[in-house]
Amino acid sequence: MNVPAIRNHLETVIGLARLLEQVEAGAVRIDADGYRELVLQLKGALAEELPQRALQAILNTYSATSVLYENLHYPHSGLSRAPLERSAASEVQTRQILARMAARPRAS
């Protein structure tokens, strides 16, 4: 990839990451389809090769993108970007939510 192409790709990733961060913070509202499209575009952009230092800077700056990146690479590296305590707490919280959902009476 040449320098202008890398710069363009980085600008795209950063723009998408910034928008996802704003959506997650509630500063920008989009519907479910818009959210899905945003995540798919960012997922595609993250799948393309990026300079490692630039990728790390993006992931360190944009927490929602970091979580997405971690989820995309979970089969290979697990929750490697999240501190162990936060990962364990997430697992416990997920189990609690699933248990509450399972205990709810189903609508007929």
Q: pLDDT tens digits, residue range 33-73?
A: 999 999 999 999 999 989 989 999 999 999 999 989 888 87
- Beta-strand ranges (E) seen in the chain are none
Contacts of 67 (CB under 8 A, 6+ apart): 82
Bigger pLDDT: 74 vs 16: 16
Rounded to 10 deg, the angle between the 3-25 and 32-47 helix axes is 150
The predicted structure's pLDDT at residue 75: 55
The predicted structure's pLDDT at residue 7: 92
Predicted TM-score (pTM) of this structure = 0.68
